[in-house]
Amino acid sequence: MAIVGIGIDIVNVDRFVASLQRTPGLRDRLFVANERDLPDVSLAARFAAKEAVAKALGAPGDLRWHDVEVVRDVSGQPTLLVSGTVEAAAARLGASRWHVSLSHDAGQAIAMVVAES
């Protein structure tokens, strides 16, 4: 296995929440149904993860927000489910395995993603 790409993103939670409140429909555009009702800080971390996925894939412009979902496995560890445009971009690069880490503190949410072949 080899690393195909690494992405990292940080989100100011207050600014992110203000964007969700200011822009009707933004929550629905960014998140799948299973994500939408999570606490704001969790949404900010998931948004950072989606951005980090795009960066790990070289930031192709055709990725859709709903084509990457952050879920927790049985141990509580976050993992990624990719489909559609994200899955296709990953396949072009040979990425078939994902690692994701999320954290939030002091009004910031951060995510790091590693795409592996």
- Inform me whether the pLDDT recorded for 114 exceeds 90: yes
- Tell me the torsion sign for CA atoms 34, 86, 103, 10: negative
pLDDT tens-digit profile of 54-101? 999 999 888 999 999 999 999 999 999 999 999 999 999 999 999 999
d(CA 21, CA 44): 13
pTM (2 d.p.): 0.95
| Domain coverage including residue 49 | 3-116
pLDDT tens-digit profile of 21-54? 999 899 999 999 999 999 999 999 999 999 999 9
CATH of the domain at 74: 3.90.470.20
78 strand-pairing partners:
72
Q: Considering its fold, how many domains does the chain have in total?
A: 1
Is 57 exposed, middle or buried (CB count within 10 Å of its CB: 0-12, 13-18, 19+)? buried
